Amino acid sequence: MFNESSALVQLWVSAVNQGKYTKEDIPAISNLKEVVLSLLGE
Using one digit for the tens of pLDDT, what is the confidence trace for 1-42?
999 999 999 999 999 999 999 999 999 999 999 999 999 998
Q: Is residue 24 part of a domain?
A: yes
8 Å CB contact between 11 and 17? no
Q: What is the DSSP letter of 26?
A: S
pLDDT computed for residue 34 by the predictor: 98
pLDDT computed for residue 42 by the predictor: 85
Question: What is the rounded CA–CA span in Å between residue 20 and residue 4?
Answer: 20
Range(s) of the domain holding residue 26: 7-39
Q: Is residue 25 part of a domain?
A: yes
Number of domains the chain is built from: 1
The whole model's pTM is what?
0.91
Q: Is residue 18 part of a domain?
A: yes
8 Å CB contact between 12 and 21? yes
Q: What are the b/e assignments for 13-37, b being 16+ CB within 10 Å? A: beebeeeeeeeeebeeeeebbebbe
